[in-house]
């Protein structure tokens, strides 16, 4: 077994791990936006303890192992690895901002005895959906870059289209869930009441 095969195995494993982490994030966010009580929100906010650390660790392994593999294959003479690395660095701030807002939800729900406007606002923050949609689509775009190995402008176009597609798909989901969000309103006492 060579160092190259070990690094390649780590790279593929990290890619699969990140896909799994993003899938858990989709499931968690789906249920958080539909939570009708703080206790229900609490069950989904910590669906997988340490998930942000798993995601960050996977990204780091993918980046470092990808750089090593690209150097071994002399791929940095091509354009797509540079675009892929740039796309990875643009995913990181979105993940960090998402983690910050998720921690705010985690701090808010234990003190709430019932749903209140502030907690509802945090649970249904459209940024969380937009961030997740963009990160998933950019990551898929990076996988496409690795598979197709296009030129510079094609690579930039793929990443740009991934960002736009991620944003638009998140926006469409926000619109489709708007009708459902009307089923739960907050009374003047701060407790949820059904209006459907």
Q: Express each pLDDT in 154-193 by its tens digit.
A: 999 999 999 999 888 877 644 444 444 444 444 444 444 4
Averaged pLDDT score across all residues of the chain: 80
C-alpha span between 171 and 17 (Å, rounded): 26
C-alpha span between 84 and 106 (Å, rounded): 33
Which tokens belong to 27? Answer: 């499931």
pTM: 0.76
Domain boundaries, the chain: 3-125
C-alpha span between 127 and 2 (Å, rounded): 43
* Percent of the chain whose predicted confidence (pLDDT) is above 70: 82
Question: Rounded to 5 degrees, what angle do the CA atoms 65, 131, 97 make?
Answer: 80
C-alpha span between 164 and 85 (Å, rounded): 18
pLDDT in tens, 41-53: 777 777 667 788 8
């Amino acid at each position: 077994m060579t160092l190259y095969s070990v690094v390649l195995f780590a790279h593929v494993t990290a890619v699969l791990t990140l896909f799994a982490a993003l899938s858990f994030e989709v499931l968690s966010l789906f249920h958080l936006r539909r939570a009708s009580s703080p206790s229900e929100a609490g069950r989904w906010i910590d669906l997988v303890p340490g998930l942000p650390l798993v995601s960050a660790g996977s990204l780091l392994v993918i980046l470092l192992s990808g750089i090593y593999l690209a150097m071994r294959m002399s791929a940095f003479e091509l354009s797509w690895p540079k675009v892929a690395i740039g796309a990875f660095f643009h995913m990181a701030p979105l993940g960090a901002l998402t983690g910050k807002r998720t921690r705010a939800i985690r701090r808010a729900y234990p003190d709430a005895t019932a749903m209140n406007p502030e907690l509802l606002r945090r649970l249904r923050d459209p940024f969380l959906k937009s961030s997740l949609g963009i990160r998933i689509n950019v990551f898929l775009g990076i996988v496409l870059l690795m598979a197709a190995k296009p030129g510079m402008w094609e690579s930039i176009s793929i990443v740009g289209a991934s960002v736009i597609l991620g944003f638009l798909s998140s926006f469409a989901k926000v619109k489709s869930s708007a009708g459902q969000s009307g089923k739960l309103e907050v009374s003047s006492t701060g407790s949820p009441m059904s209006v459907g």
